[in-house]
Amino acid sequence: MTTKTRFAPSPTGFLHVGGARTALYSWLHARANHGEFVLRIEDTDIERSTQEACDAILEGMEWLGLTWDEGPFYQTKRFDRYNEIIAKMLADGTAYKCYCSKERLEVMREEQAAKGERQRYDGCCRDLAPRGSDEPFVVRFRNPLTGSVIFDDHVRGRIEISNEELDDLIIARTDGVPTYNFCVVVDDWDMGITCVVRGEDHINNTPKQINILKALGAPIPEYAHVAMILGDDGAKLSKRHGAISVMQYRDDGFLPEALLNYLVRLGWSHGDQEVFSIDEMIEFFKLDDINKAASAFNTEKLIWLNQHYIKALDPEYVAQHLLWHMNDQQIDMSQGPELTAVVSALSERAKTLKELAQSSRYFYEDFEQFDEAAAKKHLRGVALEPLTLVQTKLAALTEWSQEAIHQVIEDTATELDVGMGKVGMPLRVAVTGAGQSPALDLTMLLIGQARCAQRLSKAVEFVANRVNS
Ligand code: GLU
């Protein structure tokens, strides 16, 4: 049988890291087994579901590269199907109409509470003869009264729940709208889902859903209930811990590879390996190896992985992601080097793409002022001679190559009988505006001869003014 998994978010907010990890595990299980992955939008809660949230979820999935083979299916488009099954269940007796009023249910609950009993429907309408059609009713599932539901969860192990603990679940409300647990069952069945991977907050729904599946004669999928993600302070991960929306990580300068690698290790391991390419994740991932315990989010580790991927991935690919940040920071790229070359030059130094974009600005745009501290330190009177000499030598270059630039810096230092730093540092501040950059010859190569010349003149003028004032 082909493995088929699904990710079934409710579109009530953005795609958060917890949801993304569930989606990743579900996707990996499908990919690892040459199976299929379905995306289903559980939007039956009409009041809380929004189109923006749907779009945000799709955007997050696409950005992460968690491609789906079927869907997105929207539950709100499947009401006819749900109603068809409800009618069938009413006809074959696996469901029944319940006419109990709110008031009666209220009294029933109070009595149960007073006696210290577990609150559940008392089955009053289970065996009633059908009544006139104008009386309001809900439809309840006829849960078995005896026996138990047993399932082997890939994460939590064997779970057994006695049917006595379970209610006759409402599957359609008075207004005829089918309920959440029921829609999930019909969907998992219709979509041929063989393994349900979801958050452990749904574990209590599983026995109810299994009973309905059994009543429908549907196959029972396997289950894997994934534990929660906690913040680094041990509390449930929330906005207070910083970014939790997947797209916020994009905005903050993370690569999808880094986030995926981070998320796969957050609750799953394969020996002590930390860095996994997507192919390795697919090769090694097993649901049975998911941790039972909740995992704590560790931003430092995510940054470490991001740095790793900025350095390790093909610069051309990194540049595609960097471009988003260049646009976001409104860096005018109409003049300047290929972005790929900038990635190669700066990748050793950047923790995030946001930082990388910030520190690449001088390759594309002229700056108004030198960094104050750097100018104070390096654009002093003593720099005038090296700067003027290097300026002349650079202007004479007929070939603008890294080697030639390097030679000019070296020759200037030799001629003036000073250390390379005495030439290099003022020159660096002159052409980049700041005291830090990748190797100076490479930096200048990328900035270009004409631009370097212009900036050097400006620096010479700056130093001369300072000396005279
Ligand atoms: N829609 C549910 C949620 O977003 C998931 C339900 C399921 O996976 O069965 O939490």
Rounded to whole angstroms, how far apart are CA atoms 340 and 317? Answer: 8
Q: What is the pLDDT of residues 49-75, one digit of tens each?
A: 999 999 999 999 999 999 999 999 999
Q: Where are the alpha helices (DSSP H) in 191-233?
A: 205-216
Asked if 35 and 193 touch (Cβ cutoff 8 Å), the reply is no
For ligand 1, the distance from its centroid to the CA atom of residue 358, given in whole angstroms, is 39
Pocket-testing residue among 27, 197, 198, 206, ligand 1, by greatest number of atoms within 8 A of Cβ: 198
Confidence of residue 255 (pLDDT cuts 50, 70, 90): very high
Pocket-testing residue among 6, 40, 42, ligand 1, by greatest number of atoms within 8 A of Cβ: 42
Residue 346 pLDDT greater than 80, yes or no: yes
pTM of the model: 0.93
Q: Can you say whether the dihedral through the CA atoms of 284, 285, 287, 293 is positive or negative?
A: positive
For ligand 1, the distance from its centroid to the CA atom of residue 183, given in whole angstroms, is 11
Q: What is the mean pLDDT of residues 176-192?
A: 97
The per-residue pLDDT for 243 is: 64
To the nearest whole percent, how much of the chain has pLDDT over 70? 100
The per-residue pLDDT for 235 is: 83
Angle at 316 between CA 342 and CA 403, to 5 degrees: 45
Q: Where are the alpha helices (DSSP H) in 38-143?
A: 51-64, 79-92, 102-114
**Cross-sheet strand order for the sheet of 95-98:** 95-98, 138-141, 170-172
Minimum-distance ligand 1 atom for the alpha carbon of 7: 8
The per-residue pLDDT for 118 is: 86
Q: What is the mean pLDDT of residues 319-342?
A: 98
> Is the distance from the beta carbon of residue 41 to the nearest atom of ligand 1 less than 6 Å?
no
Residue 80 pLDDT greater than 80, yes or no: yes
The per-residue pLDDT for 379 is: 97
Residue 413 pLDDT greater than 90, yes or no: yes
For ligand 1, the distance from its centroid to the CA atom of residue 445, given in whole angstroms, is 53
For ligand 1, the distance from its centroid to the CA atom of residue 8, given in whole angstroms, is 5
> Is the distance from the beta carbon of residue 429 to the nearest atom of ligand 1 less than 6 Å?
no
Q: What is the mean pLDDT of residues 439-451?
A: 98
Confidence of residue 134 (pLDDT cuts 50, 70, 90): confident
The single-letter DSSP state of residue 165 is: G
CATH architecture for the domain at 78-226: 3-Layer(aba) Sandwich (3.40)
Minimum-distance ligand 1 atom for the alpha carbon of 198: 8
Domain 4-72+228-302 part of CATH 3.40.50.1100 = no
> Is the distance from the beta carbon of residue 388 to the nearest atom of ligand 1 less than 6 Å?
no
Q: Do domains 4-72+228-302 and 78-226 have the same CATH topology?
A: yes
> Is the distance from the beta carbon of residue 225 to the nearest atom of ligand 1 less than 6 Å?
no
The per-residue pLDDT for 395 is: 97
Q: What is the mean pLDDT of residues 98-122?
A: 93
To the nearest whole percent, how much of the chain has pLDDT over 90? 91
Q: What is the pLDDT of residues 191-250, one digit of tens each?
A: 999 999 999 999 999 999 999 999 999 999 999 999 999 988 888 887 777 668 999 999
Q: From the CA atom positions of the chain, what is the Rg in Å?
A: 32
> Is the distance from the beta carbon of residue 42 to the nearest atom of ligand 1 less than 6 Å?
yes
- Average pLDDT in the chain: 96
Spatial neighbors of 175 by CB under 8 A, at least 6 apart, are none
Rounded to whole angstroms, how far apart are CA atoms 255 and 316? Answer: 13
The per-residue pLDDT for 208 is: 98
- The CATH code belonging to domain 366-468 is 1.10.10.350
For ligand 1, the distance from its centroid to the CA atom of residue 188, given in whole angstroms, is 11
The per-residue pLDDT for 353 is: 98
Domain ranges of the chain: 4-72+228-302, 78-226, 314-357, 366-468
Residue 469 pLDDT greater than 80, yes or no: no
Minimum-distance ligand 1 atom for the alpha carbon of 19: 4
Of residues 118 and 221, more confidence is placed in: 221
Asked if 66 and 31 touch (Cβ cutoff 8 Å), the reply is no
Rounded to whole angstroms, how far apart are CA atoms 419 and 414? Answer: 8
